[in-house]
Structure 1
Amino acid sequence: MDAARRVTWRVEGMDCAACVAKVTRAVERLPGIAAVEVNLMAERLALDLGGGGAEALEAVEAQIAALGYRATRIDGDGPVAPASAGPTHGHAGHDDPADAATPWWATGKARLTGLLGALVLGAQAASLVLPDSLTYPLFLAATAIALVPFGRRALALARAGSPFSIETLMCTAALGAAVIGAAEEAAVVVLLFATGELLENVAAGSARAGIRALAGLMPRVALRLRPDGGTEPLAPERLAIGDLVLVRPGDRVPCDGVIEEGRSAIDESPVTGESVPVSRGRGDAVIAGSINADGAIRVRVTRAAADNTIARIIALVEEATASRAPTQRFIERFSRWWTPAAMAVALLAVLLPPFLLGWTWETSLYRGLAVLLIACPCALVISVPAAMASGLSAGARRGLLVKGGAALERIGAARIVAFDKTGTLTEGRPRVTAVLPAPGRSAEEVLALAGGVEQGSAHPLARAILAEAAQRGLSLPPARGLAAIAGRAVVATVAGRRITVGSPRHAAEAGVPLGGLAAELPRLETEGMTVAVVLIDDAPLGLVALRDEPRADARAGVAALAALGLRSVMLTGDNARTGAAIAASIGLEAKAELLPGDKLREIGHLRQDGPVVMVGDGINDAPALAAASVGVAMGGGTDVALETADAAVLKDRVTGVAELVSLSRATMANVRQNVAVAIGLKAVFLATTLAGVTGLWPAILADTGATVLVTLNALRLLRWAPRW
């Protein structure tokens, strides 16, 4: 057998979770097929093909076509943006590929619904003046016209492994109604069913529009600078890494890059949700889709279009909508048993009442067919994924990325939020506030030797020491034999001497007496400063005190979490006095002097009191992020922030964590409302049907109406906004 290869198709026409289940089951039955993944929002089918070449590919496409969908193979692997559908005012998935750029009211489904509506309304109007013998054929014609495409699809689904589909139930009920002389109601049933399918298409198109809006953040034209200083317009997709582009005031940034020349205020709100423009100058990173507010800048491209921030967000949102929450998986398992069980109940409703309740066979058959329609699980199946997709899209528009429904569900259930300190609760840009040399040493010597050890390090404290040395104009000596002691110190040989830059705890564990410097430690730490001890040949050289200011919104973010009923804890490697001082200024408790392994154990202890959200910068906190119930990275769109954790706050604000919790709870409340509507309507109509109060067309409303209601309710989430 040939090695498995990944093949991807765009599948047009899917508009609900039931469609995903149908395509998945149908394709899984084909020989040589494995790892089938169907993404509703991206309209994408991906699978592993074990062999068979062109014949196997044609078999997949034929199977999908038999279900009433159209598969178009995509060259290459990876995330695919949703099919373009023109303006984002509500286009649908379509059965006919020619419909892909057509407004929903001009699609094949809309034409079928319009024809059925005209026939039914015409027959109803004619019945007011004509005898039933003349209008009855019109109702039969409407029923027959609808049953041709729906019946063909029901047969294809049955052959593909889905015998209990909504199409099967609807066709059985409509045919049964026609047989017992209720053609008028049969016609109304098929009209309502077609209308429901059309509305599902419109709703699916509206949900996809949220993702298309993200793609719309990219400008159509980029101005690439030529070697002669002129510019040439071209599509952003054609930009290559290393190209230099001109971004004029008012232009959208066409790429991820670094400013080479100029300074401007950059409005990143379209991507991160951060409403205040930020000043950016030479050497600063900018992200695709942000808006250059006032000054012209020249930007060097650092990422290809397929890998820029916008493309990655779109890919993450699409993948997230394909990831099913535990609630959704339960509903799907439940619905597999629901439909055949409901068909059995409908059969019993036909066979038993004539003997037990004295109903006529005609009455019994009629009510049994109505029960069959009520049994359709569409509204129940779509209730969860519709809400999840809307919640994920609403979050992405505000710089809140969540990797799937499972993570979104867990965030709202959290009871504790654990924060890393540096770069999360604080700005991540510490500065040197004091240098205290040992007797006989100078501050410049302390900084120069410490800076020599820290050269090349990306740690925030190292950068602060290097920045202070540069500000004082110090020349840094080269270092050799650099070694790191995780969470404790960095050691190197500088100018023939062994220099150690580490924590006071490391100096104490090494047994190095600090002499008069020891008295300064408590004062500096109580003031919220982090102190680095610099040793020379295991003797004290001096102290470097640094302070990393809390983020401007840190206190408000912690207060917002408290208002939501969550307990907040800061986890830090700082000493207890420094940790307590910073925690007190923000308004939360602190767990200090934690090494990376200690943070991991602390997360385990916290989880004993309930689900834990761990918030970190996505760089040094990977173990703790993975150990928590949900890991949230704050990283302003960096690779690690988008890939390490279960969720990311792109706006780099502490209040974003409370927004994630609020979004999760709003989404799960929407899910509960949807499930209640789906089951509640069915229960009401089941009772009224068996009591003889309602008939066939109200029965189809129990499903079609519920489907429309839960979809519209889910779409409300697209307008979600945080309270603060």
Structure 2
Amino acid sequence: MADASALKLRIEGMDCGSCAAKIETAMRRLPGVADVEVSVAGESLSLTLDEDRTSRATIKAKIAALGFHALDPAPGPGLQAHDHAPTHGHWAASAKGRLVIASGALLAAAWVVSLAGPQWAEWPYVAAAVVGLAPILRRAFAGAMNGTPFSIETLMSVAAVGAIAIGEAPEAAVVVFLFAVGELLEGVAANRARAGVKALVDLIPRTARRVRDGVVEAVPAEALEVGDLVLVRPGDRIPSDGAVQAGTSEVNEAPITGESAPVLKEIGSTVYAGSVNANGELHVAITKAAADNTIARIVHMVEEAQGSKAPTARFIERFSRWYTPGAMALALAVVVAPPLLLDGDWRTWIYRGLAVLLIACPCALVISTPAAVASGLAAGARRGLLIKGGAALEALGRVTTVAFDKTGTLTVGHPGVTDVVAIEGSMESMLGKAAAVERNSSHPLGAAIVEEAVARGVEIPQAFGGGIATPGKAVTGRLKSGFVSVGSPRHAVEGGLMTAAVSDRVAALESEGKTVVVVSEGKRLLGLVALRDRPREDAVAGLARLRALGLRTVMLTGDNARAAAAIAVELGLEHRAELLPEAKLAAIAGYRAEGPVAMVGDGVNDAPALAAASVGIAMGGGTDVALETADAALLKDRVGGVAELVVLSRATLSNIWVNVAIALGLKGAFLVATLTGAAPLWMAILADTGATVLVTANALRLLRFDPARSSAVKAARPTARRDGG
């Protein structure tokens, strides 16, 4: 297959897992076809095709024979394929809707005829059954010819034809009608599930106001290029990812990150496609094209995730391959065993055997997992919780340990001032002089000192000339009052400025994991400034929520033991410090031996640990690395999002098992009722159609599930243990 090329088609009429399985099986049987992937949620078929062996026309013809409609994806990058995709109209306009109307009308007409002339009642029911059964028979035959002999259409066809053969045409007509109604309801439910991804696509405005040479012109959003400048007025949606070049405003990022409060945006701030400008005019420089912006990547990731199969779904699919032939064998045993062994009535037991066939249809069982997983993934994406597939979604609910990187994950990732100690003069004067020296410094400690002085409203005196840096020791600047140095304690000791009392104070601050700088003027020591990377605002509450869920929390960091211990005590979790990358991997392996483990990191330097964990979770605020490195990403960039992921996963797992219980429970109840003669043939279809509708409706409940408001998360109080472990 050296000349093989990728082919992607949009598939209309595909509403459940068994539909996807039929298409996948048929495609795999064709020569020159490989890498077949079918997504019910995305209504898509992707494969690799050698057109010298199988043409595209053959692919489409096979799909049409199975009862589906194959369309070429619309031209255009990324989201545009969605923009031009055919919309789902009213149910009555669809092929399934027309079949329901036609079979229902014929069934009603047959009933009227039976009332007017009972002697003619049989044939109108036969006609109603045959008309409704014709498309089902065609699909059953096509499925059998393409590798799926034991499909639901096969079971339906055998049951309906058998019912007609034993003189139960009215029952056959009712069964066919109910089956058509069930398929229609499946389609409606599937479209509702797909609406989650469509809602994300709809966040992108169709037009943008591009500014060129001072002139504002309306252009299609997909026409924007990197570097273009756009005007975003109050109330407008931002057309693509970019950076603010002019203006100040609050932006509602809830559709993208799930952050409920508007976020202040100033010059240099990053803005995301689909977010809403609230109250000020912004000029935004585009940094990502339409096909590569945050919304496009989220949609692509969610669609890929929904197309992937969770472990439970794979198990149920394997089970159903044996289940359906086994059910047919059971139905045959029900037909022949009682008459042959117990002298039962042949007609009675044929009738009951046909009912068993209908009960045995595996649709509800097959769809129980993918429907719940698709809804769970969509619900998470709406709230800034991106999960790459059913396997990761299931694994999150089973983790027993959550390991965190420190810098940038549990902490904000840059130092902040924690203590300002004046030795001579006022604290404000000392801090202002230190900020004056560091004002033009690019060093993170210097930037933090300036930030603290500005935040406190301290007057910063003017410095004359640039600061003179002595690497690793100090920065010195000339102020009106004299030369001021901001340097390390060691530099102060070398200058003979440190007293025993000051040295003790420095040691006490350093024992708390803080970095201390000494501020001096000439030969006078003015004071100390202590700095440390600070925990995120929600770190204490987020970790408490995880512990309330019964999970062990641990911090793995390459930072020094003193700094790590200080953060660990403040946050109340176990810690292991001074870990080289290979030591981190060994630690993850050790925790994994005790049970599934999740690793939470920033998605850059933690990539090996993220990959080694059962589930890797990146905190990245929508960056490329965050979306591509790990199994899940937190767009809210909050520690509390980890607990929300776990709660969402557990809710999805619970939904799956409820679905399985519904599917098997209804089948079991109807099987008993059928074998005892308590349920007629037409009611047997409810064991599958009814179960399928109930399972799908239950799965759709997850679309409204908010893990942040779940009682499992709210039960956790923002209190931290102080025992360090």
TM-score strictly above 0.5:
yes
Q: Percent identity?
A: 57
What's the counterpart of residue 498 of structure 1? none
Aligned equivalents of 1:665 and 1:503: distance in 2?
51
Map Cα deviations across residues 88-141 of structure 1 (whole Å, 9 max, x no partner): xxxxxxxxx8xx44222321211110121122233334434531x222222111
TM-score normalised by the chain length of structure 1: 0.85
Report the count of equivalent residues: 668
Partner letter of residue 68 of structure 2? Answer: Y
Does structure 2 retain, via aligned residues, the 8 Å contact 1:618–1:635?
yes
Does structure 1 retain, via aligned residues, the 8 Å contact 2:328–2:357?
yes
Partner letter of residue 397 of structure 2? Answer: G
SS in 2 for 1:122: helix
Matched, 1:108 2:107: no
Q: What pairs up with 1:75-114 in 2 under 5 angstroms?
A: 100-114=87-101
Aligned equivalents of 1:679 and 1:343: distance in 2?
16
What's the counterpart of residue 344 of structure 2? 359
Aligned equivalents of 2:637 and 2:542: distance in 1?
12
What's the counterpart of residue 149 of structure 1? 135
Q: What pairs up with 1:234-383 in 2 under 5 angstroms?
A: 234-383=219-368
Does structure 2 retain, via aligned residues, the 8 Å contact 1:615–1:631?
yes
Aligned equivalents of 2:51 and 2:447: distance in 1?
54
* Aligned-residue offset at 1:559: 1.4
Partner letter of residue 131 of structure 2? Answer: I
Matched, 1:187 2:187: no
Does structure 2 retain, via aligned residues, the 8 Å contact 1:400–1:656?
yes
**Cα distance change on mapping 1:76 and 1:246 into 2, 3 Å:** closer
**Cα distance change on mapping 1:352 and 1:171 into 2, 3 Å:** same
Aligned equivalents of 1:195 and 1:469: distance in 2?
70
Map Cα deviations across residues 623-652 of structure 1 (whole Å, 9 max, x no partner): 111111111111110111111110011011
Aligned equivalents of 1:669 and 1:73: distance in 2?
38
SS in 2 for 1:694: coil
Partner letter of residue 48 of structure 1? Answer: T
| The 10-residue stretch of structure 1 (287-296 or 600-609) with the greater mean CA deviation from structure 2 | 600-609
**Cα distance change on mapping 1:694 and 1:286 into 2, 3 Å:** same
SS in 2 for 1:46: strand
Matched, 1:56 2:55: yes
SS in 2 for 1:428: strand
What's the counterpart of residue 173 of structure 1? 159
- Structure 1: unaligned runs, 5 residues or longer: 87-96, 437-441, 481-489, 492-500, 505-513, 534-541
**Cα distance change on mapping 1:306 and 1:476 into 2, 3 Å:** farther
* Aligned-residue offset at 1:432: 5.3
* Aligned-residue offset at 1:476: 7.1
What's the counterpart of residue 37 of structure 2? 37
Map Cα deviations across residues 159-194 of structure 1 (whole Å, 9 max, x no partner): 111011100110110000001000000001101110
Matched, 1:68 2:67: yes
* Aligned-residue offset at 1:450: 12
What's the counterpart of residue 139 of structure 1? 125
Does structure 2 retain, via aligned residues, the 8 Å contact 1:448–1:475?
no
Aligned equivalents of 1:423 and 1:599: distance in 2?
16
* Aligned-residue offset at 1:402: 0.2
Matched, 1:216 2:215: no
Does structure 2 retain, via aligned residues, the 8 Å contact 1:8–1:75?
no
SS in 2 for 1:38: strand
Aligned equivalents of 1:532 and 1:688: distance in 2?
82
Matched, 1:203 2:189: yes
SS in 2 for 1:549: strand
Map Cα deviations across residues 256-285 of structure 1 (whole Å, 9 max, x no partner): 000001111111111111011111111111
**Cα distance change on mapping 1:526 and 1:291 into 2, 3 Å:** farther
Aligned equivalents of 1:625 and 1:652: distance in 2?
16
What's the counterpart of residue 623 of structure 1? 608
Does structure 2 retain, via aligned residues, the 8 Å contact 1:85–1:101?
no
Map Cα deviations across residues 458-485 of structure 1 (whole Å, 9 max, x no partner): xx779759989999968478999xxxxx
Partner letter of residue 581 of structure 1? Answer: A
**Cα distance change on mapping 1:431 and 1:121 into 2, 3 Å:** same
Aligned equivalents of 1:307 and 1:463: distance in 2?
33
What's the counterpart of residue 416 of structure 1? 401
| The 10-residue stretch of structure 1 (395-404 or 365-374) with the greater mean CA deviation from structure 2 | 365-374
**Cα distance change on mapping 1:502 and 1:608 into 2, 3 Å:** farther
Q: What pairs up with 1:1-40 in 2 under 5 angstroms?
A: 2-40=2-40
Aligned equivalents of 1:161 and 1:447: distance in 2?
75
Partner letter of residue 56 of structure 1? Answer: S
Does structure 2 retain, via aligned residues, the 8 Å contact 1:8–1:77?
no
* Aligned-residue offset at 1:85: 9.4
**Cα distance change on mapping 1:230 and 1:150 into 2, 3 Å:** same
SS in 2 for 1:413: coil
Does structure 2 retain, via aligned residues, the 8 Å contact 1:257–1:302?
yes
**Cα distance change on mapping 1:566 and 1:49 into 2, 3 Å:** same
TM-score normalised by the chain length of structure 2: 0.85
SS in 2 for 1:232: strand
What's the counterpart of residue 375 of structure 2? 390
Map Cα deviations across residues 497-521 of structure 1 (whole Å, 9 max, x no partner): xxxx9999xxxxxxxxx99898666
What's the counterpart of residue 717 of structure 2? none
Does structure 1 retain, via aligned residues, the 8 Å contact 2:113–2:124?
no
Map Cα deviations across residues 22-57 of structure 1 (whole Å, 9 max, x no partner): 11001111111111111111111111113418x611
What's the counterpart of residue 496 of structure 1? none
Does structure 2 retain, via aligned residues, the 8 Å contact 1:36–1:46?
yes
* Aligned-residue offset at 1:338: 0.5
Does structure 2 retain, via aligned residues, the 8 Å contact 1:81–1:315?
no
Task: Find the partner of 1:689 among 674, 679, 682.
Answer: 674
Does structure 1 retain, via aligned residues, the 8 Å contact 2:78–2:292?
no
Aligned equivalents of 1:643 and 1:582: distance in 2?
29
* Aligned-residue offset at 1:691: 1.2
Partner letter of residue 306 of structure 2? Answer: T
